[in-house]
Structure 1
Amino acid sequence: MKKIVIDPITRIEGHLRAEVEVDENGIVKEAYVSGQLFRGIEIILQNRDPRDAGLLAGRVCGVCTNSHFRGAINAVENAYSLSIPENAKIIRDLMSMALFIQDHVVHFYQLHLLDFVDVLSVLKANPKETTKEAHKYCQKPFRNSNTHYEAVLEKLQNFIDAGRLGPFNSGYWGHSDYKLSSEQNLILLSHYFEALQFQTKISKAIAIFGGKTPHPQSLVVGGITSVADMLNPQRLNDFIFVIKEASDFINRAYLPDMKLLAIAYKDEIKSKSGKTAGNFLSVGGYPINKEMKLFSGGVIFEQDFSNIQEFDADKIKEEVQRAWYSDDEKQEPFYTDLNDDGTLKTKNKDDKYSWIKAPRYDGKTMETGPVARLFISYLNNNTAINSFVDEFLKETSLKLEDFNSTVGRNCARAIESQYICEYIFKLVSNLIQNIKYYDTNTWDKYNFSELEKDASGYIFLEVPRGVLLHSINIENSKIKNYQIIAPTTWNATPKNSDGIRGAYEEALVGIKIADTSKPLEVLKVLHSFDPCLACAVHIIDAKGKSLGEYKVLN
């Protein structure tokens, strides 16, 4: 057996390490995935005013800011049994939906695309043939012209001539796992550049109701503070305009690119590369009307599509036997270091090797995220998504179970983005209807001093990467304990004492690495989950002592 260590894994949020053991044929036989920095936001929240929980929890991550902000606010409201106006619910959902769209597009193009696109191969592309290729996946491809592709080639050549490849530097160019033609590579790379502009525009949609982004400021216990923007026709129009532009890019670039990818990598999909154990979890949410939600909730075990069980929060348990925490009830940080050779301690079943805790649902590791939502919503006959899934499957000749794969996760995100864009206009319409009939309330007044001094509450939310839990325990009007289980906590869970692999580790086992010095296949699998390890380490020194000095070299 040979061990391959990748640390740090780049193009993700946070610090992730992977160690895989491969046999003489390059087949991964075992995998260990480790979060390398301590996540201490729960400790920082202790003894704080519950009304400040959102502002602090929103700093868990620089990407998922709105998700954690909202989770904390909802948890406090649930603890005190506070209701909020319907307009506040809609605006919170509009901000969340815009974040889904932004997150999915940025994930594929800026964080994952280079696992599929051989940048240097692009220079061999024929612009005229590229325009023809693009029409295979869309009737009206995005910015599909000879002059546009010539401009992209010129930009890339300028990078190379200047010796500054920037984000395209140090890639595994020429790797045998790259399967796209030069023209297909050019299509996707051109959309990489377009997506850089896309993310700045979609951020405006979040900021319209959030005040700013990242780290919006308009969410407060009791509702939303952005009533002036809600009542301003120009601001509403600005929001709609941004979403229309986003929808155009998704339908003419992002989704066609996924069709291209699914067809080009069909053999890999059918081989189940990147497949997990088939345990999927979704809590559902985001009402479209009284009868329908954007996502359905439920649980699937071992990919048994005929038996979708109801979600039961009481079946969740979080363990730490193989995570760097003490094994007692306090679960305090307890780092046991690495081996002398710098590898993770994984030889024994009680070795600790990650800062990520080990959540289990009914004793099982779960995959959460776009694939889980797609499976559970589709199989529950959620009409908000079914027609979009059916169309994609028909055009790519795939089956539903094929989404449980590396490429399949990307396809699920694109489909999700497509139907979110479709239904976000319905939410805007609901908001306008309320305003039309003089319902302009966005915050319900309450007296904090009159609330119970001791309370507890929690909230489960579907966010771009999957299921998010925020749980709060309030004592004497201060936060006593706080707990967060993020989507990446579910997907990147260590084995724990039960020896069961989490989704990341399970997806790695069985893949074939063509060149162990260039483990592109490992990166491709892990990136497909959109890892977010930013909920990591927060080190403070109350006495003002210097903890370390660093110098950035140019």
Structure 2
Amino acid sequence: SYLKAIRARPSMLELMGVFAGKWPNTLVFQPGGVTCSIDTSRQTKALGLLRELQNFVEETLLGCGIDRWLENKSLDDLESWLKESHHQDSDLGIYLKSGRELGLDKIGQGPTRFLSYGVYELPEGGTWLPGGYYDQGFFSFDGQKIAEHIKYSFFEGYEGGIHPSEGMTQPYVDKKGAYSWAKSPRYDGKVVQVGPLARMILDKDPLIYDIFSRWGPSVFLRVLARLHEAVRLVRQVGIWIKEIDERKAFYKKPRVPTEAKGIGLTEASRGALGHWIVIKNGKIETYQVVTPSAWNLSPKDSLDQPGACEQALIGTMVEDVNNPVEVGHVVRSFDPCLVCSVHMLKK
């Protein structure tokens, strides 16, 4: 249903336009709030556009209502759902059947450690999707445990791993042994996965966590987690739009410091995104960004540990070396950002 998806996409972009004016590269989000207030008219328009998007999700993607899909709490529930004829012919039904037939549940495992900063801040505090760290158990997140390595990256300036707040980005194009323009972020010295699968596991989403507990991570589960999270969001966004109170302030002018250190941690669609800034004499002295694709698509680190995607590729059986579609499946399941991570290999 590729053409149907293309036709549905404008509603989603227009919905973002109601709040952001344009996307991407919007200017609506500023320190202190947003530059556009939301009145009843905008709320009504946003809800109408969301309804159009929900119709596509339910009629084409799922073949059922969102509430019916979210009744699936386990792999057994999912298999029962798939046996219902009107679900089998939906886009998701076709993916669930063909994905397993193609063996996507058997390839692309990668590390079994997951990281999320948490996302969608709530008025009462906390986030709708919690942050944390998973390594055979659930642990609280500690930002001081992040370190970036550059042993195999086209950068110079330090050895080992250092915290992003102390980081530097000094290109070195002739560096021997380097093969990536991404650094190698690690959490507590370990390789982790970030993204929708990480968020769903750390949220203890019953469906995704049950499949993960039985099968472990895979290409199949990463894609399913991305879709499942999106379906959950369609319903939740409607709730949030209705909660907007036009009588409350949308912007509060911030105080601009002359000396400061700052950190911003959130979740982009691809996973954990962090910004670290140092301000001196009213000017930015250093600014470091660690993107989701740096976490997932990083090269080896100072301990020669391969990155998450590299680990997921190791051992992948390729049927035709001249057309390695299996490699493409694994890499694309991480939804890599080409701007954030470029590898260079010589024949």
Q: TM-score band, normalised by the shorter chain?
A: 0.7 to 0.9
Do the aligned partners of 2:258 and 2:280 also contact (CA within 8 Å) in 1? yes
Do the aligned partners of 2:297 and 2:310 also contact (CA within 8 Å) in 1? yes
Q: What is the SS of the residue equivalent to 1:532? A: coil
Q: What is the SS of the residue equivalent to 1:367? A: coil
Do the aligned partners of 1:198 and 1:246 also contact (CA within 8 Å) in 2? yes
Q: Which residue of 2 aligns with 1:193?
A: 3
Q: Which residue of 1 aligns with 2:74?
A: none
Do the aligned partners of 2:180 and 2:341 also contact (CA within 8 Å) in 1? no
Q: CA deviation at 1:219?
A: 1.3
TM-score, structure 2 normalization: 0.82
Aligned length: 307
Equivalences for residues 256-295 of structure 1 within 5 A:
256-266=90-100, 272-288=106-122, 290=124, 293-295=127-129
Structure 2 gaps, min length 5: 63-89, 159-166, 343-347
| Counterpart residue type for residue 411 of structure 1 | L
Q: Which residue of 1 aligns with 2:326?
A: 521
Partner of residue 253 from structure 1, selected from 56, 60, 81: 60
Distance 1:454 1:292 in 2: 28
1:452 aligns with 2:265: no
Do the aligned partners of 1:250 and 1:414 also contact (CA within 8 Å) in 2? no
Choose between structure 1 and 2: higher helix proportion: 1
| Counterpart residue type for residue 49 of structure 2 | V
Q: Which residue of 1 aligns with 2:75?
A: none
1:527–1:336 CA distance, 2 compared to 1 (3 A):
same
Q: What is the SS of the residue equivalent to 2:289? A: strand
RMSD: 2.3
1:370 aligns with 2:208: no
Distance 2:216 2:60 in 1: 20
Q: CA deviation at 1:314?
A: 0.4
1:453–1:271 CA distance, 2 compared to 1 (3 A):
closer
Distance 2:252 2:149 in 1: 38
1:452–1:294 CA distance, 2 compared to 1 (3 A):
closer
Q: Which residue of 1 aligns with 2:79?
A: none
Q: CA deviation at 1:220?
A: 1.5
1:486–1:501 CA distance, 2 compared to 1 (3 A):
same
Q: What is the SS of the residue equivalent to 1:490? A: helix
TM-score, structure 1 normalization: 0.52
1:452–1:216 CA distance, 2 compared to 1 (3 A):
closer
1:408 aligns with 2:216: no
1:333 aligns with 2:171: yes
Q: Deviations over 1:414-452 (max 9, x none)?
A: 110111011112211221xx33xx32x111134x5xx43
Largest Rg, 1 or 2: 1
Do the aligned partners of 2:191 and 2:305 also contact (CA within 8 Å) in 1? yes
Q: Which residue of 2 aligns with 1:206?
A: 16
1:278–1:259 CA distance, 2 compared to 1 (3 A):
farther
Equivalences for residues 472-487 of structure 1 within 5 A:
472-487=277-292
1:503–1:254 CA distance, 2 compared to 1 (3 A):
farther
1:269–1:518 CA distance, 2 compared to 1 (3 A):
closer
Distance 2:169 2:19 in 1: 38
Distance 2:118 2:18 in 1: 26
Which structure 1 residue ranges, 4+ long, deviate > 6 Å from structure 2? none
| Counterpart residue type for residue 216 of structure 1 | T
1:310 aligns with 2:131: no
- The structure whose RCO (Cα within 8 Å, separation 6+) is larger is 1
Q: Which residue of 2 aligns with 1:361?
A: 187
Structure 1 gaps, min length 5: 1-190, 338-349, 379-384, 538-554
Q: CA deviation at 1:248?
A: 2.2
1:240 aligns with 2:47: yes
Q: Deviations over 1:242-275 (max 9, x none)?
A: 2122222223333442333223332655863110
Equivalences for residues 79-158 of structure 1 within 5 A:
none
1:400–1:267 CA distance, 2 compared to 1 (3 A):
farther
Q: Deviations over 1:65-88 (max 9, x none)?
A: xxxxxxxxxxxxxxxxxxxxxxxx
| Counterpart residue type for residue 149 of structure 2 | E
Using the aligned pairs only, state the percent identity: 29
Q: CA deviation at 1:456?
A: 1.1
Q: CA deviation at 1:362?
A: 0.3
Q: Deviations over 1:213-258 (max 9, x none)?
A: 221121122111101xx02x33211211121222222233334423
1:269–1:371 CA distance, 2 compared to 1 (3 A):
farther
Do the aligned partners of 2:259 and 2:282 also contact (CA within 8 Å) in 1? yes
Q: Which residue of 2 aligns with 1:168?
A: none
Distance 1:294 1:403 in 2: 24
Distance 1:524 1:212 in 2: 32
| Counterpart residue type for residue 261 of structure 1 | Y
Q: Which residue of 1 aligns with 2:35?
A: 225
Distance 1:500 1:236 in 2: 49
Q: Which residue of 1 aligns with 2:312?
A: 507
1:254–1:289 CA distance, 2 compared to 1 (3 A):
farther
1:420 aligns with 2:228: no
Q: CA deviation at 1:501?
A: 1.3
